[in-house]
């Protein structure tokens, strides 16, 4: 983030450890208010610090009693030797292939699919009604594009495949899955930021 020039430069954060800022913690707390009437049977999250902090601010004291799983499989994509670089710098040095210097997209989808399928099976077996998942923007975008394009997840009326872009911090996505047919699923809400007072979007989509 280049504060001196007034230009916000997005970094290739990948799996590096970054702490939430005060505004980000406030955003997560606002999402918590939006979800306060929900009882979650299971909570699953990336084990990286920024996701754990987000979850803590969303759930507050409820986190102490949550049925919680932390998993490496929901980590952001490993970016290799460009992690920590500004995107523009990485692009200048390595060209358009800068995204592929670490974990491939196929490897990313493979680990996400494994964890997602296990989650669906466990939810069916244990009769979970509501599950809360906390993950990173690149993970969410790449995986849900895959679910729609390859696994034929349905989209709620008015939502298009082209709308599945990197979501804003603490945005809310809701997916309904038919427990009698786990391949039958619908994305009801994509990247809602209503809890933040209006529509928010990420202008820089270069990492996907």
Residues in the chain: 208
Number of C-beta neighbours around residue 167 at 10 A:
22
Say if 165 falls within a structural domain.
yes
In a domain, 140, yes or no: yes
Asked if residue 8 is part of any domain, the answer here is no
In a domain, 17, yes or no: no
Question: Model-level pTM?
Answer: 0.87
CA-wise closest residue to 133 among 195, 43, 49, 200: 43
145 is an annotated ligand-binding site residue:
no
pLDDT on residue 183: 98
* 37-95 tens-digit pLDDT: 999 999 999 999 999 999 999 999 999 999 999 999 999 988 888 877 888 888 888 88
Q: What is the pLDDT of residues 22-42, one digit of tens each?
A: 999 999 999 999 999 999 999
Domain of 42: which CATH number?
Answer: 3.40.50.1240
Cβ atoms of 66 and 59 within 8 Å: the answer is: yes
In this predicted model, which residue has the larger pLDDT, 53 or 12?
53
**Cα separation, 202 vs 8, whole angstroms:** 12
201: in domain: no
d(CA 96, CA 93): 9
The number of domains in the chain is: 1
* Burial (Cβ within 10 Å: 0-12, 13-18, ≥19) of residue 135: buried
Per DSSP, the residues of 40-78 read -SEEEEESSHHHHHHHHHHHGGGGGG--EEEEGGGSPPP
> Is 1 inside a domain boundary?
no
Q: 56 is in which domain, residue-wise? A: 22-196
DSSP class of residue 186 equals: E
Query: Is 11 part of a structural domain of the chain?
Result: no
Identify whether 168 is part of a domain: yes
pLDDT band at 96; cut points 50, 70, 90: confident
């Amino acid at each position: 983030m280049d504060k001196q020039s007034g230009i916000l430069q997005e970094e290739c954060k990948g799996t590096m450890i970054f702490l939430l800022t005060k505004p980000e913690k406030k955003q997560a707390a606002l999402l918590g208010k939006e979800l306060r009437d929900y009882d979650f049977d299971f909570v699953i999250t990336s084990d990286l610090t920024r996701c754990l902090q987000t979850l803590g601010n969303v759930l507050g004291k409820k986190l102490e009693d949550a049925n919680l799983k932390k998993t490496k499989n929901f980590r952001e994509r490993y970016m290799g030797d460009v992690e920590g670089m500004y995107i523009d710098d990485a692009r200048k040095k390595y060209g358009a292939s800068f995204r592929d210097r670490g974990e491939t997209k196929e490897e990313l989808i493979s680990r996400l699919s494994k964890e997602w399928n296990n989650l669906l099976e466990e939810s069916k077996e244990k009769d979970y009604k509501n599950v809360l998942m906390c993950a990173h923007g690149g993970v969410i975008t790449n995986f849900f594009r895959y679910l729609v394009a390859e696994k034929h997840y349905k989209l709620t009326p008015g939502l298009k495949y082209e709308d599945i872009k990197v979501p804003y911090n603490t945005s809310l996505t809701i997916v309904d899955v038919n427990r009698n047919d786990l391949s039958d699923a619908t994305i009801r809400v994509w990247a809602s930021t209503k809890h933040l007072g209006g529509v928010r979007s990420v202008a820089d989509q270069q990492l996907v």
